[in-house]
Amino acid sequence: MRDIKIIGVPLDLGAGRRGVDMGPSAARLAGLADHLRQLGHQVTDLGNLDVAEPETHQISDSRLKFLSEITATCAQLAEEVGKTLEEKKFPLVLGGDHSIAMGTIAGVAAFHKRLQQKIGVIWIDAHGDMNSPETTPSGNIHGMPLAVCLGKGVPQLINIAGEFRKLNPAHVVLIGVRSLDQREQEFIRESGITVFSMTDIDRLGIYNVMTEALRIATQETHALHVSLDMDSLDPSEAPGVGTPALGGLTYREAHTIMEMIADTGILGSLEIVEINPILDIKNTTAELAVELAASGLGKRII
């Protein structure tokens, strides 16, 4: 059983729509801590990090909206995640928009770098999150975090928690993608990461996709980080997200993903992002996020 620390990051500066700042509260309301304790885990909730609100700050660069504020939050998060790992505890990070992944992954990568260890990442998302200031159509930083973690972007973000590339593309797998910008597609093809689109899942089946994804992400790595964007699921399953895209993961496909991740035994950190209660129906998306967290942390049907 694990000693889990829940870290809330109510950041919505990276998104184009308000509401994901309430995601951590929605997951807590859905009984996250109790579900994990019922599995035998020890759970401590650290509450939320203090983050800036868009109404109190000005946008200085339309290609990198709220850059300084997002950088500060991600640096704070990286420090908290690193401290959690040093205490031999499991960081469970609740977003907020997906820009927080830059902080979570920076903290995880810096911790393992000190130990001369490699990490693998499974990024579950409808979108690639691989834009840059040059390619972004919106300037919203939640469309850039995976690119940043791979070393593409502005120094302020790339160098959170240290001046080194946080992820090796050979150990990164993107799953569930179905909505990409044209120039983002080009970078993804050139990046060296492995991508399983929804078309691949349709053709191969989720079991075969995950078998190969886990082989790639866990080969020669010491820990696995999972970044789960709730918009990876079909909107019929998870309506409360800011950027829904039709044709997403089904309920059972998402659970199979998390159950197979749990079976590896090397899940070292988890973040769940982009829950938007304003757009949700009776907290359905947050409740599903809690179920998926439980599956990733050991819950089984029998």
Domain boundaries, the chain: 3-296
Catalytic residue among 229, 237, 259, 291: 229
Active site residue 202: no
Mapped to the 3 state alphabet, what secondary structure does the chain carry?
Answer: CCEEEEEEECCCCCCCCCCHHHHHHHHHHCCHHHHHHHCCCEEEEEEECCCCCHHHCCCCCCCCCCHHHHHHHHHHHHHHHHHHHHCCCEEEEEECCHHHHHHHHHHHHHHHHHCCCCEEEEEECCECCCCCCCCCCCCCHHHCHHHHHCCCCCHHHHCCCCCCCCCCHHHEEEEEECECCHHHHHHHHHHCCEEEEHHHHHHHCHHHHHHHHHHHHHCCCCEEEEEEEHHHECCCCCCCCCCCCCCCECHHHHHHHHHHHHHHCCEEEEEEECCCHHHCCCCHHHHHHHHHHHHHCCCCCC
Torsion of CA 288, 293, 297, 302, to 10 degrees: 0
Nearest alpha carbon to residue 234 among 260, 252, 212, 211: 252
**Given 234, 253, 274, 287, which residue is catalytic?**
274
Q: Which CATH class is domain 3-296?
A: alpha beta
Which token pair is 56? 């109190």
Determine whether 129 is an active site residue.
Answer: yes
pLDDT for 181 equals 85
Q: Does 229 participate in catalysis according to the annotation?
A: yes
- Cβ atoms 188, 130 nearer than 8 A: yes
Residue 220 a catalytic site member: no
The one catalytic residue in 21, 69, 80, 129 is 129
Low-confidence ranges of the chain (pLDDT < 50): none
What CA dihedral angle connects 182, 244, 256 and 46, to 10 degrees? 110
Residue type, 41: H
How many other CB atoms are found less than 10 A from the CB of residue 203? 11
Of 96, 86, 89, 119, nearest in space to 17 by CA? 96
Annotated active-site residue in 41, 142, 171, 225: 142
User: Catalytic: 231?
Assistant: yes
**pLDDT reported for residue 53:** 82
Give catalytic status of residue 21 as yes or no.
no
Catalytic residue among 231, 237, 259, 280: 231
- Residue (of 97, 174, 111) closest to 143 by Cα position: 97
**Percent of the chain's residues with pLDDT above 70:** 99
